[in-house]
Structure 1
Amino acid sequence: MTEQERAAAVSLFEAGHGHMSAASLLGVGHQGVRNLFDRWKIHGREVLVEKRTKRRFSFEEKREIVRRYLTGEASGLELAAEYELSSRKIITKWVRIVREEGEEGLRPKPKGRPGRSSNVAQEPASELERLRAENERLRAEVAYLGKLKALRDQERQ
């Protein structure tokens, strides 16, 4: 949705239209308008202002939000407004993670490529593995030398 369509949709929400009505009046897909409508119910007109930073929640905060949601202490919409979440879908995602992986699934995951365990190459576990590694290295060397010879022959012509 364009910025103008988003502003028009918010105006329609404020006039009492639902997301389906607003989507048909604007001639846009209803799913994007529904997401905007859900966020509008939480944040009001501020939904049109882009937030620059992404808030990070600690494991304890996530666990508390999920606990309150599952016990029925508060709805997803209420919790999203209270904790200034962009959408209630974040809470349903955390609930799904807890159901599938347990509370430990809410802990932050390591990012990026895993580091090397040490600078020294790992010793092959058996003689067979050592020989296979040497064979692979020798094949690569033969292929390299063959290409080098072909390039030199090509230069001479």
Structure 2
Amino acid sequence: MSKYSEEFKRQLVEEYLRGSIGYDKLAKKHGMPASSLIRRWVNAFRDLGQSGLTPKRTPTAYPVQFKRDVLHFIKLTGASHQEAASHFGLNNASLITSWSLSRENLGMEGLKQKPKGRPSMSKHSKKKPSKLENKQTREQELERENEALRLENTYLKKLKAFREDPEKYLEKHKQRWHSNSKKNSD
């Protein structure tokens, strides 16, 4: 359950938008510890309307491709996390921050959905992997490395195209970002 009700958020946003009081004074008036929440609510309301203030009942699991698109958009355009959140219809820019940190620390594996809960207890003790399993693991490592090299190659080609003519590149790929984000949010 959210600490602040949707009605309270809307009331503060409307009060701010009337222009009579700033973020800091509004936070102080309502006994809030910081004005950053109000700023986030106002941005969410401007970008998403009333739905930007509505707390989600269940957390949304974003696909890896969507996360990659958002992070790629930031890298290409130099947009802030808040601007990217607005562009892709997210009401919480801190999601993008956590995706970015996960990718920095764990690579693309960090963007994958993690299983929730505690792992089940195994009734049998774990066996040592046989040589055949080691060979499969080595093959899997090579496949992963090939995929990473393919992705890097594709990225470098796109970066070169972007550097040659940024306006043309962004116009060409703008529609694809919109269509990907709409497909994945359904």
Kindly indicate whether the alpha-carbon contact (under 8 Å) linking 2:16 and 2:23 is maintained by their aligned counterparts in 1.
yes
Judged with a 3 Å threshold, the aligned counterparts in structure 2 of structure 1 residues 49 and 120 are, in CA distance, closer, same or farther, namely closer
Shift of 1:122: 6.1
1:14 paired to 2:17: yes
Which one scores higher on RCO, CA 8 angstroms, separation ≥ 6?
Answer: 2
Query: TM-score when scaled to structure 1?
Result: 0.61
Query: TM-score when scaled to structure 2?
Result: 0.53
Measure, in 2, the Cα distance between the counterparts of 1:37 and 1:26: 16
Kindly indicate whether the alpha-carbon contact (under 8 Å) linking 1:42 and 1:80 is maintained by their aligned counterparts in 2.
no
Instruction: Quote the residue 1:85 is aligned against.
Output: 90
Picking from 46, 71, 78, the partner of 2:76 is 71
Picking from 1, 9, 30, the partner of 1:26 is 30
Q: For each residue in 1:37-77, what CA deviation from the matched residue of structure 2 results, as whole angstroms up to 9, or x when unmatched?
A: 34334323333333334322111111111111122254323
Kindly indicate whether the alpha-carbon contact (under 8 Å) linking 1:76 and 1:91 is maintained by their aligned counterparts in 2.
yes
Kindly indicate whether the alpha-carbon contact (under 8 Å) linking 2:6 and 2:54 is maintained by their aligned counterparts in 1.
no
Shift of 1:120: 4.0
Q: For each residue in 1:5-53, what CA deviation from the matched residue of structure 2 results, as whole angstroms up to 9, or x when unmatched?
A: 3232111222134422321233322243344334334323333333334
Structure 2: gaps of 5 or more residues: 128-186
Shift of 1:121: 4.9
Give the 5 Å matches for 1:6-155: 6-16=9-19, 17-30=21-34, 31-72=36-77, 74-117=79-122, 119-121=123-125
Judged with a 3 Å threshold, the aligned counterparts in structure 2 of structure 1 residues 10 and 80 are, in CA distance, closer, same or farther, namely same
Return the index of the structure with the highest Cα Rg.
Answer: 1
Structure 1: gaps of 5 or more residues: 124-157
How many positions carry a matched residue from both structures?
Answer: 122
For 1:102, what is the secondary structure of its paired residue? Answer: helix
Task: Note the aligned Cα RMSD (angstroms).
Answer: 2.8
Q: For each residue in 1:64-117, what CA deviation from the matched residue of structure 2 results, as whole angstroms up to 9, or x when unmatched?
A: 111111222543233222332221111111111112222221111222332345
The alignment-based identity, stated in percent, is 27
Measure, in 1, the Cα distance between the counterparts of 2:87 and 2:58: 18
